[in-house]
Structure 1
Amino acid sequence: MTPEEVIDLLTTAAAYDRRKVGEADVVAWHAAVKDLDILDAQDAVVGHYCESTDWLMPAHVRKRVKAIREARLAREIVPAPDAELADEPGPYLEAIQDAVKKLARGFSLPKQIAAKVEPSEEYIEERGEDHSPIRIEAFRVACPWPPCRALPGAVCVDADGRRLSVPAHEARLRAAGLLEGDGQPRAIGDAS
């Protein structure tokens, strides 16, 4: 939080308790709350005065911001770091800590591990006569069709959860960038 944001925070508090805010107040409060996010701190001030008539102090703000962050973390699942970091304990831990910090601050993170996925042996066996490399490439992305939502590497299913005889929905082919605007397959490796 910048000194200017501390002024905004103290102005919010002053609207409730009629405090006079001077330069010394800004310096002291900045030293106590500079590591907090301004939006969380504002929410903490409003929450304090919704539940209490006590004079607001930095400890009140810090306590409420901590509760706000803990509530966010309780609602969210911390996504796993990239699979490439699995054999590197230091960077893996840093990635988890970074994700926790972002979630605590209110950022949304993708829940899916983004890794290159090869088609499973099961797919290769069950793909039948459709040996199109385009369909195999489609398996590198999740299916965006709402009733399906197959993860990368998994076979698409119909609305009743049954496997498709053709392994990928058209929406999945489009998501993988494998169809032209007219619905015709694009050549693999074609950048156009």
Structure 2
Amino acid sequence: MTGLTDEEIRAVLAAAMGYDNRRPGDLNVAAWQEASEIGRWTLGEAVEAVHQHYATRTDFLMPGHVTQHIRAARRTAPMPAERQLPTAPPAEPERVRDFMAQIRRSLGWTQRATTASDPELDHVCPHERCRAGKHRPCGYRLTRGTHQGEWRAIKGYHHSRTQAARQETNR
């Protein structure tokens, strides 16, 4: 963090001028700016420190007073409340399906129903994880969890199986 700018230091000194009639010059601004960098002041904290100082004390305000007040205020400031996002119950499966269908439609993805007469079923699926035999649906074997090793069919066919069927019909 850098110290306050010249204009900000002048604003802090202007607040002090209202109390003690000081007449700061460029050298004062430079010195206070250096102190603001060392003390890591913010403009709001520094101006508040000036007001707090003169509300409770009568001695001439120095940069050290400002730094002391800022540090004390930071130590006693309440910690921000821990933010917690509101939790919602998990979405129902029907809602998830409807939402995913809406996304597919908005992206222009079409999903055709599979039938026993599909040309893809006349070919072994070349997809590495599938390798479904002729007349068998495409899918994958689960590799983790309590259902490890189970076969799960997918809707439609792997792209490589569809390509193989197209090549065969184009011959």
Using structure 1 for the length normalisation, give the TM-score: 0.44
- Higher Rg: 2
Using structure 2 for the length normalisation, give the TM-score: 0.49
